[in-house]
Structure 1
Amino acid sequence: MLEPVKDVIDAMLREDLRAPRKQKHTIDRILERLAGERDFEQTSYSTVRDYVRKRRPEVELEERQRRRRLEGTVPQEKRPGEEAEVDFADVFVDLAGQHRKCVLFTLRMSYSGKAVHRVYATGSQEAFLEGHEEAFAVLGGVPTVHIRYDNLRPAVRQVMFGRSRIESSRWAAFRSWYSFSPFYCVPGEEGAHEKGGVEQEGGRFRRRLLVPAPVVSSLAELNERLAAVDLAEDARHVHGRPTSVGFDFEQERPVLRPLPADGYDTGMDLTPVVQRNGRITVRQCYYSVPARFIGMKVRVKLKANEVWVFDGREVVARHPRLTRRYTYHDILDHYLEILLVKPGAFAGAAAPAQARAEGGFTKAHEAFWAAAKKKAGDREGTRMLIEVLLLHRQLPADALVAGMAAVLKIGSVSTDLVAIEAHRFIENTPGEDTDAEGVVPVGRAEPEPAPDGPGGEGRRSSRCTPGACRPICGPGCRT
């Protein structure tokens, strides 16, 4: 009974393969269309139902088999130095004690398989441009024909018909600077096959070299490791090739387009105003600057992994770039002048807490602070600690830590003695009455001055005798 309309029913079922889930043909709708469009009413509901129940999975299977035959891959022949592929991939990193989601930038040469990998805090336009600049510097040139991309937001503002795209202005300026052409893949899963080399490379690199998640203190440290790994991978053989990646790349290197004489500034310039709390707002995140700039506009260079703050041409603050909105990064040194006036705010301030978490505020600082508060009270003791923290601007941190340890060992909290011991640590010239480590023995902090009146003969005052302070300062002292 259904023989005259089987092809018509099959066509309806094929339409359902591309239709939304809730807008597919029901048995009633099929009967209505057969009656209205074909004037066919010689069958029952159950007959059509049984046919559709059997035929629908067969139509789906036929469609999958047809598409599988059409979606086969075609081997490609690449020429040296002509093409490359770029992609971003998610990667997790244990960064400064936090498990962070970052992005892995990969640029892969299509002929040799030579790849450059870098990790950035976000997939921002700054990271996109900086990744290219790093890759071109490593390769020593630029591909001569084009670089393949999917429709990444840092590059493409709008997808038009075919392969036409409206590009972002900074991306258009960047690729004009380096004189290369982009090749934009078809949107969706089909486009991924047009740059399958870098898709596979990103996954292979992440599985083999970033598992388990790398533990680093900064992304700069991680990228130094990746640069060494990229260099070592020149000895790797791509499957099916008798020669190594490095050997094949040597054929590409001479034919790459030369780099321009000057580099490209990949950072973004901003001019935020420093708020009363000593912070600026950049991309809905907060960064501290020195207190003297409160109320002023400062120039900020937003880079892929860092935020630089300038006073003229001088960098006055550098922060790691934050990725979560409304988070902050404070540097304790920026608030010291304010805290010197308001020492009571030190204990609950955000900057010291962050310095503790990052290791800048050490156990030696804590011990000195506790001893100073015990000897001079909370307010004056905190001021003494802040004076020591101000010494960090002129002296290395390890020298000041050694200076505080030496001063605490003799039971003193003098900031002047901390500076003296720090200088001794730097010069590495122990005094004549010091122990093997160059620390003044307990009870010999400084020479005892001669008492006035009779009985003071032979005990000259350290305030008027040249060189009498050597047990503290060392033999190089000229005070």
Structure 2
Amino acid sequence: MSAGSRVELYAAIRRDARAGMSGRELQRRHGVGWRTVQAALASAWPAQRAPYPPRASKLDPFKPVIDQILVVDLDTPRKQRHTITRIFNRLCAEHGMTDVSYPVVRAYVAQRRPEIRTEHGRTESAAFVPQTHLPGREAEVDFGEISVRLRGELVTLHLFSLRMSYSGKAVHRVSATGGQEAFFEGHVHAFKVLGGVPAGRIRYDNLKAAVAQVIGFSRQRVETDRWVAFRSHFNVDAFYCQPGISGAHEKGGVEGDIGRFRRNHLVPVPEVDSLRELNEFIDDYDRADDDRRIGHRVHTVGEAFAAERQLLKPLPVEPFETGLWMTPRVDRFAQITVRSNRCSVPSRFIGRQVRVLLHASDLAVYDGRTPVASHERLLTKGACRLELDHYLEALIRKPGALPGATALEQARAAGAFTTVHDAWWAAACKAHGDADGTRALVEVLLLHRHTPHEHVIAGITAALRAGALTADAVALEARRAAEPIDSAVPEADGHTAILTPDAAVVASLTHRRLTHLPADTRPPPTVTAYDQLLRQTTS
């Protein structure tokens, strides 16, 4: 009989007994014995059945061995402790266990492992106390890793998250690195989106971008100089959590937010062409999260944040430069080394020192205050990114270096150097020879500096079709592609010729030049003054 049925039986016996029914009648009516009637009258709740005595098991001879293994594991490095499979294999190989199944060993280890930890004083004694966060006062910051297909390649990027503790409003930013530049840029972006700075503390773990040294087991930290300047600029009050896993619970809100954001918005793996495009998606996801409701809260994230937005500290008027300035020297390969990666600059700067502004996802190269190159940051150490345009002046003098140039291969991989370029190059080399044909190609490539890519491609295609294998012909066809012919062209007799798109037109350079001149607003010339001089002379 189940426990529920026994409770109902006891209730029925007690009810009939209160109605005056005798003990024999209770036994006969309910079909129970005298002991059951007495037990029901003594208590409304049936007594718990005594457990069955434990039965002997074939595992009993091996239980001391398992206990000893689990005791030794208490002082063993976590990643080299015994798994249940390893315990089972050792019992079979070293102790001759043959007639005990794996599930029996698994059940015993699952029962004994926490008991042994308790017996040796290894239980977790830390208690978690619920916290109340005031509006606009506290926030938490952390980094997490995400996987993205960037231009078809699976790469690992860094996700910055700043989460307001009261409302749960979180702002995210993806960057190529998790260094100090990304740390600062994430803050600046978050403060801009929030419209202010938290009025109280912001919780951090011991990121190298902010903390240079942890002093003992205290909360004191030696902070990096740039982080001190950044905190002073934005009036940020930093609170550092305990090092290691023991301090993760001190900023559990942002720890959970990164996992939630990754599962809900980055599954399946996003496919993007640039980090700028990915961050635009991230901003859309953040705005959509304003409508979600955390747990059993009454208000949504957006509604709760609207209440604390007014309590944030105002942003400073002056901007803060989040990038890092560097001054590398250009080597003989027209390259600079930045954080163990190499990038190209125009070959005219070989041997000179340039200024580099390094951001989280890109870098800009300056000659004084003039920008001369820009690159997206590379995601692996020891990598190299070269722009073919930076070597064109050198290739005019050394055309034989182009076929095997690394910059050419990277341009092909990026789609900047197309099959149309290759076809025109081959035809030019056949017509003019390898050296002169390559020089003509370099002159064509120079057109990309001031003519849109698609127009140059159209010019190359038209010149190749016509057999015009000179850079001047490509430039002419590129300009023609950039400026479509008007459908109405005036003729010499005053009539207007309506042209179809396929009609060939030879434009008059004089007419073209005159049509682009501004209107002449000067008064027409007059000779009245000269007539007066003539009258005076004759008189």
* Cα distance, 1:306–1:430 mapped onto 2, change above 3 Å: same
What residue ranges of structure 2 are gaps of 5+ in the alignment? 1-68, 79-110, 490-496, 518-539
Query: Alpha-carbon deviations, 1:117-152, whole Å to 9, x = none?
Result: 111111111111111111111111000111111111
Aligned match for 1:95, one of 146, 150, 174: 150
> Which amino acid counterpart does residue 114 of structure 1 have in structure 2?
K
Give the TM-score normalised by structure 2: 0.70
TM-superposition CA deviations, 1:309-361 (whole Å, max 9, x none): 00122211000112322211101110000011111111100111111111111
Letter in 1 for 2:237: S
Q: Which residue number in structure 2 is paired with residue 136 of structure 1?
A: 191
Residues 1:383 and 2:424 are matched in the alignment:
no
Q: Work out the CA distance in 1 between the residues paired with 2:426 and 2:513.
A: 28
CA contact (8 A) 1:121 1:305 kept: yes
Residue 175 (structure 1) aligns with? 231
Q: 2-side partners of 1:15 and 1:362: how far apart?
A: 67
CA deviation digits over 1:39-75, x for unaligned, max 9? Answer: xxxxxxxxxxxxxxx99973414568952xx444322
Please give the residue correspondences for 1:192-341 in structure 2 after superposition, counting only pairs within 5 Å.
192-341=248-397
| CA distance in 1: counterparts of 2:415 and 2:516, whole angstroms | 33
- Greater mean deviation of Cα atoms: 108-117 or 420-429: 420-429
Letter of the structure 2 residue corresponding to residue 341 of structure 1 = R
Counterpart Cα distance in 1 of 2:502 and 2:434: 31
1:400-419 superposed Cα distances (whole Å, 9 cap, x missing partner): 11111222222222321221
User: Deviation at 1:98?
Assistant: 2.0
Distance 1:474 1:207, change over 3 A: farther
CA contact (8 A) 2:74 2:117 kept: no
Does structure 2 retain, via aligned residues, the 8 Å contact 1:430–1:438? no
Distance 2:502 2:354 in 1: 44
**In 1, Cα distance between the equivalents of 2:419 and 2:406?**
18
TM-score (norm 1): 0.79
| Partner AA of 1:158 in structure 2 | Q
2:508 corresponding residue in structure 1? 467
Checking the alignment, whether the CA contact within 8 Å between 2:138 and 2:164 is kept in structure 1 is: yes
Letter in 1 for 2:353: K
Per the TM alignment, residue 18 of structure 1 is displaced from its structure 2 partner at its CA by 6.6
Larger displacement relative to structure 2 (407-416 or 122-131): 407-416
Deviations for 1:426-474, whole angstroms, at most 9, x for unmatched residues?
222268799965696xxx9xx8xxxxxxxxxxxxxxxxxx82899xx99
CA distance in 2, matches of 1:115, 1:423: 50
Further displaced range: 322-331 or 337-346:
322-331
CA displacement, residues 202-223 of structure 1 (integer Å, 9 cap, x when unaligned) = 0011111112221112111111
Q: Which amino acid aligns with 1:244?
A: T
The equivalent position to 1:187 in structure 2, one of 218, 221, 243, is: 243
Q: Is the 8 A contact 1:429 1:438 kept in 2?
A: no
Find the counterpart in structure 2 of residue 452 from structure 1: none
Asked if the contact 1:83–1:146 (Cα under 8 Å) also holds between the matched residues in 2, the reply is yes
| In the alignment, structure 1 residue 393 sits paired with structure 2 residue 449 | yes
Is contact 2:71-2:116 (8 Å) kept?
A: no
Q: Percent identity?
A: 49
Secondary structure of the equivalent of 1:242?
coil
In structure 2, what is the equivalent of residue 114 of structure 1? 169
Secondary structure of the structure 1 residue equivalent to 2:207: coil
How many residues of Structure 1 are paired with residues of Structure 2 in the alignment?
Answer: 409
Q: Output the aligned Cα RMSD.
A: 3.0
What is the alpha-carbon distance in structure 2 between the residues aligned to residue 115 and residue 183 of structure 1? 18
Distance 1:280 1:234, change over 3 A: same
Residue 60 (structure 1) aligned with residue 133 (structure 2): no
Larger Rg: 2
- The answer for unaligned runs of 5 or more in structure 1 is 1-12, 23-53, 448-465
Partner SS, residue 310 of structure 2: helix
Please say if residues 117 and 123 of structure 2, whose CA atoms lie closer than 8 Å, have aligned partners that are also in contact: no
Q: Which amino acid aligns with 2:139?
A: A
Native 8 Å contact 2:176 2:361 kept in 1:
yes
Relative to structure 1, the CA distance from residue 166 to residue 403 in structure 2 (aligned partners, 3 Å threshold; closer, same or farther) is same
SS at match of 2:142: strand
**Superposed displacement of residue 252, structure 1:** 1.4
Contact 1:336 1:390 in 2 (8 A): yes
Question: What is the distance in 2 between the residues matched to 1:434 and 1:298?
Answer: 56
Structure 1 residue 358 corresponds to structure 2 residue 414 = yes
